[in-house]
Copies of this chain bind each other. A is one copy, B any other.
């Protein structure tokens, strides 16, 4: 057995060489018979003129005796500099790719000497308020307020008390800083890729929520058509209601069947997301048709577990979640320094080329 990994010695071994792990500044103060402030000043090497050499020596002796390790909490308290950036997310746990926002934010925070304090609120307003209070209590320099899909939000009132950046969402106040995916650019790119391959009858299976994604991707689709002089045909935009059929796959399957029953079929379909494309695949296959030969399909999201593993693999537009997380931290740190004015930063959505178009 490797003694270095023996967890039963947890509470008795420490990097300082064998002393208790719970030594505090107070313990040092008591042993040295000085105030906690004096310990703090000695340990942090501040205001040397205020402390006599004899006192100083007594404190350092107690530090050595107890194996006290000055900690980041104490140091941030003394310096008045918080090491924390808060991140309040509504659903890290329930969406595959939202975790990439977390990773991008974390790595950018670390690069700048900050630690992320993360809270997953599961959409509950009371937990959101609790989480923001916790971050204020720990003197986070600011908070990233993140939603798992791109949408408009009501900013929680507590957020007004510290610098904030809205991640993947846009609050209704024009002075806010938001970092979101560029839905229009993404929708245009998806459509352009189909038009580039010679398709002229391109359908768009679009969701019906009032959200930046549905509005933006449709605007991108129309721009791409307009740029080629192709008239917009409203019959080629199929609205879906995923909540009525228990999922996007189910909605994509139904919309696919509707498209395939038409006498004049489109030859290519842009799907609102990869789950819609997954359902469309089923419909196409049940009709004995092939992708992309009989119908080219492009998705949106580059959703893990699905996009790369459908048959055929799905060409799609990726949501730049890692980049959104990283840029949000940079925007927050600029805002903390007073350098960032309210605006919406839109991040490009790149194409992921596979075999379905």
Residue from B26, B285, B338 in contact with A285 in the complex, judged by beta carbons closer than 8 Å: B285
Closest to A21 in B: B162
List the one stretch of A99-107, A188-196, A345-353 in contact with chain B. A99-107
Contact present for B5 and A139 (CB under 8 Å): no
State in angstroms the CA–CA spacing of A116 and B92 once bound together: 14
Contact present for B120 and A106 (CB under 8 Å): yes
A155 contact set on B, CB distance < 8 A: 5, 7
Residues 12 to 35 of chain A near chain B (Cβ within 8 Å): 13-15, 21-22, 24-27, 29, 35
Contact present for A161 and B92 (CB under 8 Å): no
* Cβ of A334 under 8 Å from chain B: no
Contact present for B122 and A157 (CB under 8 Å): no
Copy count, this protein chain: 2
A162 contact set on B, CB distance < 8 A: 10, 21
Size category of the A interface is 35 or more
State in angstroms the CA–CA spacing of A174 and B7 once bound together: 9
Residues 146 to 175 of chain A near chain B (Cβ within 8 Å): 154-155, 157, 159-164, 171-175
Binding site for B on A (CB under 8 A): 1-2, 4-11, 13-15, 21-22, 24-27, 29, 35-41, 71-74, 76-78, 80, 82, 92-96, 98-100, 102-103, 106, 110, 115-120, 122, 130, 134, 136-139, 142, 154-155, 157, 159-164, 171-177, 246-250, 253, 275, 278-279, 282, 285, 303-306, 308-311, 335, 338, 342
Contact present for A13 and B161 (CB under 8 Å): yes
Contact present for B115 and A134 (CB under 8 Å): yes
Contact present for A25 and B247 (CB under 8 Å): no
State in angstroms the CA–CA spacing of A8 and B306 once bound together: 41
Contact present for A72 and B137 (CB under 8 Å): yes
CB distance from A115 to the nearest CB of B (A): 6
Residue from B11, B27, B120 in contact with A102 in the complex, judged by beta carbons closer than 8 Å: B120
